[in-house]
Structure 1
Amino acid sequence: MAEETPINSTRPVRAAIVALVRNSDLFGLRLAIRQIEDRFNRKFQYPYIFVNDEPFTEEFKQGVRDLTRARVDFGLLDEESWTVPKWIDKARYAEVKRTAKYPHGEKDSYRKMCRFQSGFLHKHPLLADLEYYWRIEPDVEYFCDIDYDPFLFMRQNGIKYGWNIAMTEFMDTVATLWNTTMAFAQENPQMIAKRSMRNWLVDANGAYNGCHFWSNFEIVDLSFYRSAEYQMYFDYLDRAGGFFYERWGDAPVHSIAAALLLDASQVHYFSDIGYFHPSVLSCPADARTRSSCVCDSDSSFVQNGLCTVRFKEERHHALFPDAKHEAVHSGLVFTAQAHVIVE
């Protein structure tokens, strides 16, 4: 095997492919790495960073390194980032876990994971030198060759947050998230972007509609998560306790933050990347005629789902408020040859 590439190499962007995983995820993670290597990273050689709440086994490390020539780093979580905070009422939390009817409602580990992904992953020492990260998870698949560099594409176009799948949330898990967010916004109105995508998040009555980006795929300019605005928002949510009293996920937290704190032009839909997370497929509409894709666009419903269509509409309206507000099905169009965005 070739020697590992230094993390600060001659690549134009300091970035890495990152995952929070456990030793038991080795097989699923190997599937994901094989996919992303074949479709993208064998050409670009971005490093991988994997973090765990327990030490990685030598079997896990070797099983990952066998699949790539890129640098691979393994890290542990610290106690602060993987704990139930001291301000959480233990009795109330125990009752919530006992009575919760939604998926993972009884699990400490799932809530710790959501809190960690929301407020601590980007602070891990292994990410300290990075400008961007691409999040992957075990068992995900990539169906189309990615012949351009999404990190460089984001930098060149001023994009802070990139996504691929948008869906609605289990509302019981975020029952008070929107009201808590609105309280934060009222206390910090200067932090809300002038051309925010607030309207993407609400229904006709102004209530949260549950739309969020699936954060199992996200490509992010880490200056966003490191910003004072995002840190204040996360701290506000953390103190409210909803990661534990309900089951606030990192996906709605990241999505609401991106929609409110970023300019609409800084949020990008990577519609050209064919992606599968167990149970949901995102396949480009022209996949059947593209030699670089192997997926069935007829089996992919998320592109025409409520949250995706509303994103295109509301983003267009935020950027062009004087234009007629109607359904916009083109959104951002990526021209691979020129590496530019066309409005």
Structure 2
Amino acid sequence: MENRELILSIKDLQISFKTDSGTVSAVRGVNFELHKGETVAIVGESGSGKSVTTKAVMGLLASNAKIEQGSIYYTWNDFHTGEKKEVDLVKLSEEELQKEIRGQKIAMVFQDPMTSLDPTMTIGKQIMEPMIYHYKKSKKEAYEKAVELLQLVGITDAERRMKNYPHQLSGGMRQRIVIAIALSCDPYVLICDEPTTALDVTIQAKILKLIQDIQKKKDLSVIYITHDLGVVAKVADHINVMYAGKIVETGTTEEIFYDPRHPYTWGLLSSMPDLTTNSDELYTIPGTPPNLVKEIKGDAFARRNQYALNIDYRIDPPMFDVKGSDTHKVASWLMHEKAPKVEMPETLKQRIEAMKRGEEV
């Protein structure tokens, strides 16, 4: 990225949930950065901590959640003074988050538009409301901006749509409305939590293209949360692979797709639907994720990892730098200089070669 202005920095974030079964360690020391105009993707299985991490940024954690330690630094240029300001979002009160941050500086697009929209309010009113609340715009100003936003997200006959209710629109249109609401206060950061999961493939592609186009126009920084590596390949600059509450591999999209080093990343890439091989079966990672109520000794992935070393069952691996890269890091003892040399599966090698040649996978 040419523009490396840091906008969001998460440091050693640890989040737990109190449940009837015990305390769940959902996020176990997450670190990552987001720069201006950049798209960072967080990928992993359900329950890996992707959504919890980003909900902590928004201050939208459930009442039984607790941030055990860590910080979430948000940096922006003050519109009035031109000065750079930095705040630790973890230390802000609910009132400060609601008034200063949520919706205004950082906005979120959720997975299911029907749960994000109020079925009793018109579309127009729902887009206008944040502008009136945060910027004290008049109804006339908010109405005009709302119509502009509807046009920006590709909704035709915008003025007529302003009077519609959510149930009168298709799933794709509702997701466009949710994006319009998220953009209504001109945020600097847009968090997209599985924004295309409930949509069919053709609409998915349109929504992803729409978010990319808006990002370029407004110089937005975007965080994508997804389990779909196909989505990631199209939109991300940088990828964080999460497993059991930790980031286990991080790098540019090219590094993760063409030079993956963690066995879990190998599994994720191998389990993508593939048109280049003759196999009738789709690869699945063996076993199940660990129970995060219990203390995890060593590497959380060890019991599912056919390449696990003895040390994996005793000590959690640190983040190792991949030689020759400033951006590629891997939490695996296989990266240690004394570890045996392990190659990625041959089928994955073939798939990566096909991707490099530009073949469809």
TM-score if structure 1 supplies the norm length? Answer: 0.28
**Larger relative helix fraction:** 1
TM-score if structure 2 supplies the norm length? Answer: 0.27
**Larger relative strand fraction:** 2
